[in-house]
Amino acid sequence: MPLLRALGPLVSAEAAAEVPETGVEARDLEQDIWVRLLERLGAEGPPADPGRWVRNAVRDEARRARGAAAGRHPYREEPAAGPESDPERAALHNHRRLLLRAAVPRTPGRCPRLLAALLSPADPTYREIAGELGMSQGSLGPLRAKCVECLRRLLAAEVVAPEPRGKER
Protein backbone atom coordinates (compact mmCIF):
# COMPACT_ATOMS: atom_id res chain seq x y z
CA MET A 1 0.00 0.00 0.00
CA PRO A 2 1.42 3.39 -0.96
CA LEU A 3 -0.05 5.04 2.16
CA LEU A 4 1.78 2.65 4.48
CA ARG A 5 5.08 3.11 2.63
CA ALA A 6 4.67 6.89 2.68
CA LEU A 7 3.92 6.96 6.42
CA GLY A 8 6.78 4.63 7.41
CA PRO A 9 9.44 7.32 7.97
CA LEU A 10 6.98 9.57 9.81
CA VAL A 11 5.88 6.77 12.15
CA SER A 12 9.53 5.89 12.87
CA ALA A 13 10.52 9.51 13.53
CA GLU A 14 7.53 10.28 15.74
CA ALA A 15 7.96 7.07 17.74
CA ALA A 16 11.67 7.77 18.25
CA ALA A 17 10.85 11.28 19.46
CA GLU A 18 8.29 10.10 22.01
CA VAL A 19 10.05 6.96 23.28
CA PRO A 20 12.49 8.43 25.87
CA GLU A 21 9.80 9.08 28.48
CA THR A 22 7.65 6.03 27.78
CA GLY A 23 9.76 3.15 29.06
CA VAL A 24 9.16 1.15 25.86
CA GLU A 25 11.21 0.67 22.73
CA ALA A 26 10.55 2.69 19.59
CA ARG A 27 9.77 -0.46 17.60
CA ASP A 28 7.06 -1.45 20.09
CA LEU A 29 5.50 2.00 19.81
CA GLU A 30 5.67 1.79 16.01
CA GLN A 31 3.94 -1.60 16.07
CA ASP A 32 1.10 -0.15 18.16
CA ILE A 33 0.66 2.67 15.62
CA TRP A 34 0.59 0.28 12.66
CA VAL A 35 -2.03 -1.88 14.39
CA ARG A 36 -4.17 1.20 15.10
CA LEU A 37 -3.80 2.38 11.50
CA LEU A 38 -4.76 -1.00 10.08
CA GLU A 39 -7.79 -1.16 12.39
CA ARG A 40 -8.81 2.31 11.27
CA LEU A 41 -8.36 1.46 7.59
CA GLY A 42 -10.65 -1.55 8.04
CA ALA A 43 -13.33 0.33 9.97
CA GLU A 44 -13.30 3.92 8.67
CA GLY A 45 -10.90 4.07 5.76
CA PRO A 46 -7.78 6.22 5.51
CA PRO A 47 -7.60 9.36 7.65
CA ALA A 48 -8.21 12.70 5.93
CA ASP A 49 -4.83 14.03 7.13
CA PRO A 50 -2.58 10.98 7.59
CA GLY A 51 0.36 12.99 8.96
CA ARG A 52 -1.72 14.60 11.69
CA TRP A 53 -3.35 11.25 12.47
CA VAL A 54 0.06 9.60 12.91
CA ARG A 55 1.32 12.38 15.19
CA ASN A 56 -1.80 12.22 17.35
CA ALA A 57 -1.79 8.42 17.43
CA VAL A 58 1.88 8.30 18.46
CA ARG A 59 1.25 10.84 21.22
CA ASP A 60 -1.77 8.86 22.47
CA GLU A 61 0.15 5.58 22.48
CA ALA A 62 3.11 7.24 24.22
CA ARG A 63 0.78 8.58 26.94
CA ARG A 64 -0.68 5.12 27.36
CA ALA A 65 2.80 3.62 27.61
CA ARG A 66 3.90 6.24 30.17
CA GLY A 67 0.83 5.46 32.26
CA ALA A 68 1.53 1.74 32.08
CA ALA A 69 5.21 2.31 32.89
CA ALA A 70 4.24 4.30 36.00
CA GLY A 71 2.57 1.18 37.36
CA ARG A 72 5.62 -1.02 36.66
CA HIS A 73 7.80 0.20 39.52
CA PRO A 74 7.50 -2.59 42.08
CA TYR A 75 9.61 -0.81 44.71
CA ARG A 76 8.06 2.61 44.39
CA GLU A 77 6.76 3.76 47.73
CA GLU A 78 3.21 5.01 47.80
CA PRO A 79 2.48 7.90 50.15
CA ALA A 80 0.58 6.70 53.20
CA ALA A 81 -1.69 9.72 53.33
CA GLY A 82 -1.89 11.47 49.98
CA PRO A 83 -4.31 14.25 49.06
CA GLU A 84 -6.82 11.72 47.74
CA SER A 85 -6.95 9.89 51.08
CA ASP A 86 -7.57 13.08 53.08
CA PRO A 87 -10.98 14.63 52.27
CA GLU A 88 -9.96 18.06 53.55
CA ARG A 89 -6.82 18.14 51.38
CA ALA A 90 -8.79 16.91 48.39
CA ALA A 91 -11.38 19.66 48.92
CA LEU A 92 -8.64 22.31 49.19
CA HIS A 93 -6.96 20.97 46.05
CA ASN A 94 -10.24 21.09 44.10
CA HIS A 95 -10.98 24.59 45.41
CA ARG A 96 -7.56 25.84 44.28
CA ARG A 97 -8.05 24.27 40.86
CA LEU A 98 -11.43 26.01 40.53
CA LEU A 99 -9.88 29.34 41.57
CA LEU A 100 -7.17 28.86 38.96
CA ARG A 101 -9.70 28.10 36.21
CA ALA A 102 -11.83 31.10 37.26
CA ALA A 103 -8.81 33.45 37.23
CA VAL A 104 -7.66 32.52 33.70
CA PRO A 105 -10.32 34.63 31.88
CA ARG A 106 -9.41 37.67 34.02
CA THR A 107 -5.83 37.77 32.74
CA PRO A 108 -4.95 40.49 30.18
CA GLY A 109 -4.44 40.32 26.42
CA ARG A 110 -3.75 36.95 24.83
CA CYS A 111 -3.19 35.29 28.20
CA PRO A 112 -6.68 33.74 28.59
CA ARG A 113 -6.38 31.83 25.31
CA LEU A 114 -2.78 30.78 25.98
CA LEU A 115 -3.45 29.64 29.55
CA ALA A 116 -6.60 27.79 28.51
CA ALA A 117 -4.58 25.95 25.86
CA LEU A 118 -1.82 25.11 28.37
CA LEU A 119 -4.38 23.80 30.88
CA SER A 120 -6.27 21.83 28.24
CA PRO A 121 -6.72 18.12 28.93
CA ALA A 122 -5.89 17.52 25.24
CA ASP A 123 -2.24 18.40 26.11
CA PRO A 124 -1.43 20.29 22.88
CA THR A 125 2.19 20.81 21.84
CA TYR A 126 3.76 24.27 21.62
CA ARG A 127 3.53 24.00 17.85
CA GLU A 128 -0.23 23.36 18.02
CA ILE A 129 -0.77 26.17 20.53
CA ALA A 130 1.25 28.59 18.39
CA GLY A 131 -0.81 27.65 15.33
CA GLU A 132 -4.06 28.09 17.25
CA LEU A 133 -3.01 31.51 18.56
CA GLY A 134 -1.48 32.61 15.24
CA MET A 135 1.96 33.36 16.64
CA SER A 136 5.47 31.98 16.37
CA GLN A 137 6.43 29.03 18.54
CA GLY A 138 9.44 30.95 19.88
CA SER A 139 7.16 33.64 21.30
CA LEU A 140 5.22 31.21 23.46
CA GLY A 141 7.81 30.84 26.23
CA PRO A 142 8.11 34.56 27.02
CA LEU A 143 4.35 35.06 26.70
CA ARG A 144 3.72 32.04 28.93
CA ALA A 145 6.07 33.47 31.59
CA LYS A 146 4.26 36.82 31.46
CA CYS A 147 0.84 35.18 31.66
CA VAL A 148 1.81 32.88 34.53
CA GLU A 149 3.13 35.89 36.46
CA CYS A 150 -0.16 37.76 35.87
CA LEU A 151 -2.03 34.67 37.05
CA ARG A 152 0.17 34.47 40.17
CA ARG A 153 -0.63 38.08 41.05
CA LEU A 154 -4.35 37.51 40.53
CA LEU A 155 -4.34 34.43 42.72
CA ALA A 156 -2.05 35.76 45.46
CA ALA A 157 -4.96 37.09 47.49
CA GLU A 158 -7.30 34.20 46.71
CA VAL A 159 -5.15 31.13 47.42
CA VAL A 160 -3.56 30.75 50.83
CA ALA A 161 0.08 29.78 50.52
CA PRO A 162 1.35 27.07 52.86
CA GLU A 163 3.46 28.18 55.79
CA PRO A 164 7.00 26.91 56.27
CA ARG A 165 7.22 23.26 57.31
CA GLY A 166 4.07 22.39 55.35
CA LYS A 167 1.49 23.81 57.74
CA GLU A 168 -1.59 25.47 56.27
CA ARG A 169 -2.50 28.91 57.52
pLDDT tens for each residue of the chain, 169 residues long? 677 788 888 888 888 888 776 677 888 888 888 888 888 888 888 888 888 888 888 888 888 877 766 555 544 555 555 555 678 888 888 888 888 888 899 999 999 999 999 888 888 888 899 999 999 989 988 999 999 998 888 888 665 556 666 555 5
119/126 Cα distance (integer angstroms): 12
Residues 126 and 63 in one domain: no
In a domain, 81, yes or no: no
5/7 Cα distance (integer angstroms): 6
14/67 Cα distance (integer angstroms): 18
Asked if 50 and 3 count as a contact pair (C-beta separation under 8 A), the reply is yes
Domain count, the chain: 2
In a domain, 75, yes or no: no
10/5 Cα distance (integer angstroms): 10
In a domain, 78, yes or no: no
The predicted structure's pLDDT at residue 166: 58
The predicted structure's pLDDT at residue 119: 87
Residues 101 and 162 in one domain: yes
The predicted structure's pLDDT at residue 94: 83
**Among candidate residues 70, 103, 129, the one where a domain is terminated:** 70
The predicted structure's pLDDT at residue 146: 93
The predicted structure's pLDDT at residue 147: 92
Identify the DSSP state of 160.
Answer: P
In a domain, 77, yes or no: no
Domain membership of residue 130 as a residue range: 87-166
Residues 125 and 63 in one domain: no
Residues 65 and 98 in one domain: no
Residues 60 and 6 in one domain: yes
Q: Is the pTM of this model over 0.75?
A: no
